[in-house]
């Protein structure tokens, strides 16, 4: 996806059902996947803002299915929010259609574009500044589960096939170990053994689903703090954004990925493993917010699996980092030698720390 001029951006915008004059289009946000711009327009003497995005065709191979998911989910959310007296203009993303009634525009070169109204007077955080922020983001993702509890999850497409299929991730890891194309396996035997020792865990959620112990849910699959918009004044979490990876999954996976990222006491590539642990105060703060947001929409069994969600998501991430390291760092961007190995070690240390604190996590969840 190459650079694009203001004139080319203006041509893209004119294919959407937006009246008025374009004031400005500038790069926006810190996302790594899509190219995002803030579009400012003069409409009836007022300035209105929009988010303009070029979708990453390398990662999302089927744009039509991706946008079908987003259209279905946002339309459903809008109805739910209206029914409970909320404001869908602030509480969910909404798609601006193209002039020919589609949810996205395709350029001659194949690039796909979409536009959402910009939700004003909001802020987002890359990291939780305190337990209260984390609690509020837990509420946002719990509320997302609640609003979509009766949406037929099986109707959604898998935008990234096998994204959280831990059994499949394990098979790919074993293949990378066996092939050892970079000759690195001999230096990471403890990490390899750590993962091999936990093969049984990979089957946990698949077995629960097969036995009909937990349902498939609509899951966000990227429950980082910066995918929640907070109201600037009240600091309340009001809207979950970035719906590209919305697909069928397990509620515990969404909970778990948030814990993996947000309750860790260290950054994802910390080299001093003494600094790495899972903060139980943050775990509890997120759990409380998540459960409040869910408003009883999860089954008892689903709630019991939340600690396992945290462990499995962390384990899976560590396994993916190590697979990439063994394959020659081809998937995750690295900024230094051994970067993926550092990432692997922080995740595996977190898994071990969670195992050591298992009783505490279960006590919090069962309270």
pLDDT of residue 88: 97
Please give the pLDDT value at position 147: 98
CA 233 to chain centre: 25
Supply the pLDDT for residue 2. 60
Domain boundaries, the chain: 6-118, 131-366
Q: What confidence score (pLDDT) does residue 126 get?
A: 82
Question: What rounded mean pLDDT belongs to the chain?
Answer: 95
Backbone dihedral angles phi then psi of residue 95, each to the nearest 5 degrees? -90, 130
Checking if the pLDDT of 189 tops 60, the result is: yes
Residue 208 makes CB contacts below 8 A (sequence gap 6+) with: 214, 250, 301, 305
Tokens of 203: 């089957």
β-pairing verdict for 237-240 and 228-231? antiparallel
Q: Calculate what percentage of the chain has a pLDDT beyond 90.
A: 89
Q: Are 6-118 and 131-366 the same fold in CATH?
A: no
Average pLDDT over residues 210-224: 96
The tens digit of pLDDT for each residue in 329-352 reads 998 889 999 999 999 999 999 999
d(CA 182, CA 326): 6
**What fold is seen in the domain 6-118?**
Phosphorylase Kinase; domain 1 (3.30.200)
pLDDT above 70: residue 1: no
Whole-angstrom CA distances from 10 to 6, 21, 106, 127 are 6, 10, 14, 34
Rounded average pLDDT over 124-150: 93
CATH of domain 131-366: 3.90.1200.10
Per the listing, tokens 């990453």 go with 56
- Which pLDDT value is given to residue 127? 79
Binning pLDDT at 50, 70 and 90, where does residue 22 land? Answer: very high
Tokens representing 273? Answer: 């493993």
Q: Is the pLDDT of residue 303 over 90?
A: yes
Q: Residue 222 above 80 pLDDT?
A: yes
């Amino acid at each position: 996806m190459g650079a694009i001029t203001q004139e080319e951006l203006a041509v893209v915008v004119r294919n959407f059902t937006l009246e008025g004059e374009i004031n400005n289009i500038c790069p926006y946000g810190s996302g790594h996947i899509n190219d995002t711009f803030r579009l400012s327009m003069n409409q009836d003497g007022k300035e209105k803002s929009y988010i303009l995005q070029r979708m990453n065709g390398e990662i999302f191979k089927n744009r039509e299915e991706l946008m079908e998911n987003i259209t279905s989910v946002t339309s459903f959310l809008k109805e739910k929010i209206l029914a409970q007296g909320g404001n869908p203009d602030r509480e969910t993303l909404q798609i601006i259609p193209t002039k020919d009634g589609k949810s996205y525009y395709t350029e001659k070169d194949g690039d796909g574009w979409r536009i959402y109204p910009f939700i004003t007077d909001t802020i987002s955080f890359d990291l939780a500044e305190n337990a209260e922020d984390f609690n509020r983001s837990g509420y946002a993702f719990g509320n997302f589960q609640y609003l979509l509890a009766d949406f037929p999850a099986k109707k959604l497409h898998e935008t990234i096939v096998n994204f959280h299929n831990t059994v499949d991730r394990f098979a790919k890891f074993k293949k990378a170990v066996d092939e050892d194309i970079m000759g690195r396996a001999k230096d990471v035997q403890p990490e390899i053994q750590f993962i091999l020792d936990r093969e049984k865990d990979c089957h946990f959620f698949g077995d629960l689903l097969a036995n009909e112990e937990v349902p498939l849910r609509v899951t966000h699959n990227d429950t980082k703090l910066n995918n929640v918009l907070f109201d600037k004044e009240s600091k309340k979490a009001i809207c979950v954004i970035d719906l590209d990876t919305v697909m069928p999954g397990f509620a515990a996976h969404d909970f778990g990925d948030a814990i993996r990222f947000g309750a860790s006491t260290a950054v994802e590539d910390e080299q001093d493993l003494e600094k790495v642990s899972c903060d139980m105060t943050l775990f509890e703060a997120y759990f409380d917010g998540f459960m409040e947001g869910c408003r009883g929409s999860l089954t008892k069994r689903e709630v019991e699996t939340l600690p396992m969600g945290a462990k499995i998501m962390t384990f899976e991430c560590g396994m993916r980092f190590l697979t990439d390291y063994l394959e020659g760092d081809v998937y995750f961007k690295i900024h230094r030698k051994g970067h993926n190995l550092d990432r692997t070690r922080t995740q595996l240390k977190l898994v071990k720390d969670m195992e050591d604190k298992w009783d505490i996590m279960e006590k919090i969840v069962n309270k």
